[in-house]
Amino acid sequence: SKVLEEAGSLEPSDVKTKRQPAAATAAAMSNKLISEMGLPASIANVFAARNGFSRCYCGLLPLPQDALSLPEFDLVALLGLDLDQVRSAVARISEIACPPCRTALSLLEDRARSACHLPTCLRGLDDALRGGIPFGALTELVGPSGIGKTQFCLKLALLAALPTCYGGLNGRIIYMDTESKFSSSRLIEIGKSSFPHIFQSEGMAQEMAGRIVVLRPLSLSEFTESLQQIKLMILQHDVKLLIVDSMAAILLGENERSTTVQKQHSWRWPLSFLKSLAEFSQIPIVVTNQVRSQNNDEVFHYSFQAQKNDTGKTSERLESHLTAALGIQWAHAVTIRLIFEAHSGQRFIKVSKSPTSPAVAFPFVVESSGISLLSHDGLEVMGAEICTIHCQDDLKIGMALLCSMAPISQLLTFSAEGLTIFKD
Amino acid sequence: MSETSRFRSLEGGHGALKGAQTAWDMLSEEQMQKHITTGCEELDAILGGGIHCKEVTEVGGVPGIGKTQLGIQLAVNVQIPVECGGLGGKAIYIDTEGSFMVERAHQIAEGCISDLLDNTAHRLKDFPACPEILQPNSFLANIFYFRICSYTEQIATINYLEKFLEEQKDVKIIVVDSITFHFRQDFDDLALRTRVLGGMSLKLMRFAKKYSLAVVLLNQVTTKFVEGSFHLTLALGDTWSHACTNRIILYWNGNDRHAYIDKSPSLRSATAPFLITGKGIRNATSHCKRVRMM
């Protein structure tokens, strides 16, 4: 009743002219119960009174989404108000649930005030991404197994842990390792190779490694539970980076027997949760993704495009038919997508999707100090090449084996030339 | 009395058919209507001058093809002053995915202004007020940005726009990027989704007509099994595909970006190539096929 009393005094214009700094406040508004929204008492009472009746009709009417999704005539019938009252109540609820309006200029001023990128220390990539991995957005790393995604993540974790005087974020990192690939000895090796002067002192290695918190969820339910806890941790401690390596393992592993519909549902919540977490906390979130082989049927065109002849040579098909494991809906949802691939005997990092960069690819190698680019001038990538993922096939490993290699930590290949450590 | 004038006095004067217009009046209105340029002349040409006001245009494509780029370009181009042939209006940008990068918007605004100053210098000499208006920051100040995190907020915002547009009369374009995002994820009840989307599209169409502005809805793609094979198609299903007046699909043709008019009441189906450069969306000229690094 106290809320309803205050409701009478809240003017519509107050809500809009007040600056609401955090997106969280806006999000909270639309999740509130209608009774807490500050509607005129008469209307709020009606919504509250009908609670019992509406619960069996269509769920909880006290939530704004119910009032907003139902057609007006349904609301009239349900609440016993007339059409004008329903319209003004819906308008009022909409006004409050609507996020605050900002001009693009105020967004720019906000971003100018604080740093908004995590530099990767790979000059060409940082130039292409205009600073590095952006804060407040989801960055995806996708590529075949053994190509270097985890190496990249380890280096990023280290860079974020470094003090600001060395170019780091001086914060904690949460590393969600779903495939048990995190290697702390490799992490220290990268640190000692890349920043010898920092890691000379004994305490530093311990301090840096101590800032990286590693979680190992083994099932989707553990994963979602951990995400909830992470949200709290980000707020309370100084978490500056979240890495999920890999997303595909946890989401695909669950649903071998489920239908496609269930499969699509299972990752919706983690996806929207991660996105809103990124924006709310303004930290970078990096997610890795697997690849799967593509059926020949899946060369996609619009119906108005002439069908390409399917007379491509077999070797071509073997080489380029890989696609990201989580599909096209995931691809729409991430802000930046970096494809790690191998062809023509070299490995490349390709900026496949980015709001601020054309598609460019950088050749790289994996060394003791982590990943380093062989050239800082990106090679331009055009057309369908931007989205395809190439995988080296000169070792003649079957496609099926390559794609299922993800859980394997080490792969040694024996050939006429000798023993190769293909993946470690 | 001639046939036409008798007919006109019959329905126009006393509101016997309230809200009706003769086709001739509509034609005169349409011919006077300005269009919002996309930045690429060939694309403008197949669109009949640019994006039409008073209409809802849907733009769809695969991730990374340039839908957000087009959305930001239109939000900037709508502000081209009337003296330079534009609408001199403001923009509303509804961002459901978080893909709006404000630094990129600044870059596009700079590119638009520098091209204006190069191309229409002769007109600008007569208008001393222009230097203040033609600053990237003033362009950014005229883009109203809403960040939406759930479908409830999306419905609420579109409802609230009714009031917003009454207060801000200069708005000439509403861009929703993307209309699809929250409706693919949060909805299990497809019938409800269809109804909600239908309601939203009707409201947007009403805003377009009432306030003479353009509505541009960006859509994602999905695959559909048609005649024995998978095709790409815009998301949200068949019922939604009827909701928009015009539909443009952005796609890759070999190594070039193209736009295809998939549906329009007055334009024929055609494709046009375009480029995304550091300055924004521009013509794909034969000597400059390479995408320039920013």
> The domain that contains B68 carries what CATH number?
3.40.50.300
pLDDT at residue B292 in the model: 36
Q: CA of B96 to nearest chain A CA: how many angstroms apart?
A: 10
Question: Is pLDDT at A310 greater than 60 in this prediction?
Answer: no
The pLDDT of A32-41, averaged and rounded, is 62
Between the alpha carbon of residue A112 and those of residues A282, A296, B80, the distances in Å are 14, 47, 26
Higher pLDDT, B247 or B129: B247
Asked if residue B158 is part of any domain, the answer here is: yes
Using CA atoms, how far residue B128 sits from A317, A410, B83, B121, B138, in Å, is 62, 70, 11, 12, 16
Q: Is residue B190 domain-resident? A: yes
Any CB–CB contact under 8 A between A335 and chain B? yes
pLDDT-derived band at A169 (thresholds 50, 70, 90) equals confident
Task: Report chain A residues whose CB lies below 8 A from the CB of B145.
Answer: 101-104, 107
Q: Are strands A360-367 and A346-353 parallel, antiparallel or unpaired?
A: antiparallel
Among A99, A301, A303, whose Cβ lies nearest the Cβ of B153? A99
Mean pLDDT over the full length of chain B: 83
Pick the more confident residue, A270 or A178.
Answer: A178
| Assigned domain for B78 exists | yes
Predicted confidence (pLDDT) at residue A266 exceeds the cutoff of 80 = no
Q: Among A62-71, A78-87, A186-195, B24-33, which range has the highest average pLDDT?
A: A186-195
- Amino acid of residue A90: V
Q: Is residue B19 part of a domain?
A: no
Between B141, B185, B188, which is nearest A103 by CB? B141
CB pairs under 8 A between A and B: 211
The structure's pTM equals 0.76
- Does a structural domain hold residue B273? no
Residue pointed to by tokens 């060394």: A367
Residues of A in contact with B108 (CB under 8 A): none
Give the model's pLDDT for residue B78. Answer: 94
pLDDT at A13: 38
B-chain residues near A105 (CB < 8 A): 137, 140-141, 143
| pLDDT classification of B77: cutoffs 50, 70, 90 | very high
- Supply the DSSP symbol for A386: G
**What average pLDDT score do residues A23-35 get?**
53
* Mutation for testing the B interface, residue in A30, A274, A280, A294 having most B CBs under 10 Å: A30
Q: Is residue A185's pLDDT more than 70?
A: yes
**Residue A51 predicted with pLDDT over 50:** no
Q: Which one has a higher pLDDT value, A134 or A310?
A: A134
Q: What is the pLDDT of chain A when averaged over all its residues?
A: 73
The reply to whether B274 falls in a domain is no
Residue A56 pLDDT > 60, yes or no? no
Per-residue pLDDT at A323: 65
What domain range includes position B170? 53-256
Q: Is residue B285 part of a domain?
A: no
Residues of chain B found within 8 Å of residue A129, distances taken between Cβ atoms: none
* Whether the predicted interface score ipTM is above 0.85: no
- Span B125-145, pLDDT tens digits: 666 656 777 889 999 999 999
Residues of B in contact with A94 (CB under 8 A): 155-157, 159-160
Does residue B94 have a pLDDT over 60?
yes
For residue A108, the chain B residues in CB contact (below 8 A) are 102-103, 105-106, 137, 140
In whole angstroms, what separates CA B247 from the centre of its chain?
Answer: 10
Write out the E strands in B102-188.
143-147, 171-177
The nearest alpha carbon in chain A to B75 belongs to: A104
User: Which DSSP category does B293 fall into?
Assistant: P
Share of chain A above pLDDT 90, in %: 10
Band the pLDDT of A286: cuts 50, 70, 90.
Answer: very high
Q: Name the closest residue on chain B to residue A380, using Cα atoms.
A: B291
Q: Which of A64, A337, A360 sits opposite B293 (nearest CB)?
A: A360
Q: What is the pLDDT of residue A53?
A: 36
Substitution target in A63, A75, A101 with the highest count of B β-carbons within 10 Å is A101
Residue B12 has pLDDT above 70, yes or no: no
Residues in chain B closer than 8 A to A356 (CB atoms): 101, 103-104, 107, 294
In a domain, B28, yes or no: no
Task: Provide the pLDDT for residue A16.
Answer: 36
Share of chain A above pLDDT 70, in %: 64
Interacting residues of B98 by C-beta distance below 8 A, sequence separation 6+ = A136, A137, A275, A278, A279, A335, B147
The residue to which tokens 């009606």 are assigned? A46
Q: Which of A1-5, A128-132, A246-250, B179-183 has the lowest mean pLDDT?
A: A1-5
Of residues B148 and A392, the one with the higher pLDDT is: B148
What is the reported pLDDT for A37? 63
The number of distinct structural domains making up chain B is 1
Say what the pLDDT of residue B206 is.
Answer: 92
Residue B3 or A304, more confident? A304
Q: Is A64 within 8 Å of B221 when comparing Cβ atoms? A: no
Confidence bin at A325 (pLDDT 50/70/90): low
